[in-house]
């Protein structure tokens, strides 16, 4: 969670310094992202994160250097070789499936992957991440409906931060909780405190286990808050009161977990400080190295439109 936060802050800073064209991150979502990702069996379960999910990717083992290669659109960017905007993930070895910028378009993909898992009798599950704004899209409905009809092993994980760019939840839906929508599909939906990493972990673990036992799909709504603007091109001061942000800063999921671990004796002040120092150093070095990495050859823009013989 600390590495994800420091990396995300750094991506914004690099944009503000004019060194990166664009940044999109999810500061404040770390408990939802990292807590849920720890329930995933890496390399076995299928993962379809959205562009805010720096924490999911860090927890799955993607190195900050690789994420920063994407920020700088470098040739070795593992997601797209410098083609996509940053944080549009793809990592075949870890079954992280390519995504577009089109909100909710990958929810039917998750359902299709899970259908194949079931057809082939594989004990793997799929988790797909999205924000509450995505639940307004037709593909959200179509995917949940399809997954429910076939009882597919897929977890729909909503990081509800209350805003779809500038639009508050009240402009997206007339229900209090995204999880309430699960009833309409005949599946189970749970709303959890998305700033409590351990609760998120437990709920996601249970949901993925249920999927593996043939008792899916599930809808999880993790209530959280975005402590950063939507992207580096957004000014959230135009639509969010400062007082609201300050209230949520007090509920910072990293501080909250740290306090709990300190109280329970699972973490010392020294160890906590060391974690931050190590992360800072790692990301300092990664940023320098990634910025200096080679760009893709311009003419490589013509490749991979279709399958290429090896």
Partner 1 sequence: MALRTYLDAIHDALWEEMERLPAMIILGEDIQEGGVFRATDGMLDRFGPQRVLDTPLAESSIVGVSIGMAQNGCVPVAEIQFADFAYPAFNQLISEAARWRYRSNGGWGCPIVVRIPFGAGIRGALYHSQSIEALLAHVPGLKVVVPSTPYDAKGLLKAAIRDPDPVIYLEHKKAYRLLKEELPEGDYTVPIGPAQLRRDGADLTVIAFGLMVHECMEAAEALAQEGIDATVLDVRTLAPLDRDAILDAARRTGKVLIVYEDNLTGGIGAEIAAIIAEHAFNDLDAPIRRLAAPDIPAMPFNGGMEDYCLPSKEKIAVAMRDLAAY
Is there binding between residue 264 and partner 1 (CB under 8 A)? no
Region of residue 8 (left: phi > 0; alpha: psi -120 to 50; beta: else): alpha
Q: Which stretch binds partner 1 (CB under 8 A): 56-64, 75-83, 255-263, 271-279?
A: 75-83
Q: Which is nearer to partner 1, 96 or 222 (CB)?
A: 96
User: Do 203 and 210 contact (CB within 8 A), yes or no?
Assistant: no
Q: Which is nearer to partner 1, 170 or 310 (CB)?
A: 310
Residue 139 has a CB neighbour count (10 Å cut-off) of: 18
Shortest distance, CB of residue 305 to partner 1, whole angstroms? 5
Catalytic residues: 226, 230, 239
Binding mask 126-155 for partner 1 (x = CB under 8 A): ------------xx--xx-xx--x------
Total residues contacting partner 1 by CB under 8 A comes to 44
Q: Is 215 helix (H, G, I), strand (E, B) or coil?
A: coil
DSSP-assigned letter for residue 190: E
Shortest distance, CB of residue 8 to partner 1, whole angstroms? 22
> In Å, what is the CA distance from 25 to each residue of 67, 122, 135, 194?
11, 33, 20, 16
Taking the C-alpha atoms of residue 171 and residue 178, their distance in angstroms, rounded to an integer, is 13
Taking the C-alpha atoms of residue 236 and residue 240, their distance in angstroms, rounded to an integer, is 6
Can you tell me which of 171, 213, 237, 304 binds partner 1, judged by CB under 8 A?
Answer: 304
The dihedrals phi and psi of 83, each to the nearest 5 degrees, come to -90, -40
Interacting residues toward partner 1 by CB under 8 A: 46, 77-81, 83-84, 88, 90-92, 97-98, 100, 102, 105-117, 119-120, 138-139, 142-143, 145-146, 149, 303-308
């Amino acid at each position: 969670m600390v590495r994800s936060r420091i990396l995300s802050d750094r991506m914004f800073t690099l944009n503000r310094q004019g060194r990166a064209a664009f940044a999109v991150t999810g500061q404040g979502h770390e408990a939802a992202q990292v807590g849920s990702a720890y329930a995933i069996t890496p390399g076995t379960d299928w993962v379809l994160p959205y562009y805010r999910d720096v924490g999911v990717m860090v927890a799955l083992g993607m190195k900050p250097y690789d994420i920063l290669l994407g920020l700088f659109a470098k040739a070795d960017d593992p997601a797209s070789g410098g083609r996509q905007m940053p944080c549009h993930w793809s990592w075949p070895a870890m079954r992280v499936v390519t995504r577009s910028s089109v909100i909710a378009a990958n929810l039917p993909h998750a359902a299709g992957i899970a259908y194949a898992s079931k057809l082939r009798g594989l004990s793997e599950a799929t988790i797909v991440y999205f924000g509450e704004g995505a639940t307004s899209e037709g593909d959200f409905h179509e995917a949940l409906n399809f997954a429910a009809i076939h009882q597919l092993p897929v977890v729909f994980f909503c990081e509800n931060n209350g805003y779809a760019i500038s639009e508050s939840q009240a402009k997206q839906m007339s229900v209090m909780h995204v999880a309430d929508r699960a009833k309409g599909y005949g599946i189970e939906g749970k709303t959890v405190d998305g700033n409590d990493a351990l609760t998120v972990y437990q709920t996601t673990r249970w949901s993925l286990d249920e999927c593996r036992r043939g008792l899916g799909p599930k809808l999880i709504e993790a209530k959280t808050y975005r402590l950063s603007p939507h992207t580096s091109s957004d000014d959230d001061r135009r639509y969010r009161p400062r007082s609201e942000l300050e209230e949520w800063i007090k509920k910072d999921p990293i501080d909250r977990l740290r306090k709990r671990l300190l109280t329970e004796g699972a973490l010392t002040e020294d160890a906590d400080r060391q974690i931050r120092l190590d992360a800072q150093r790692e990301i300092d070095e990664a940023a320098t190295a990634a910025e200096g990495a080679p760009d893709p050859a311009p003419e490589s823009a013509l490749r991979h439109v279709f399958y290429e013989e090896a």
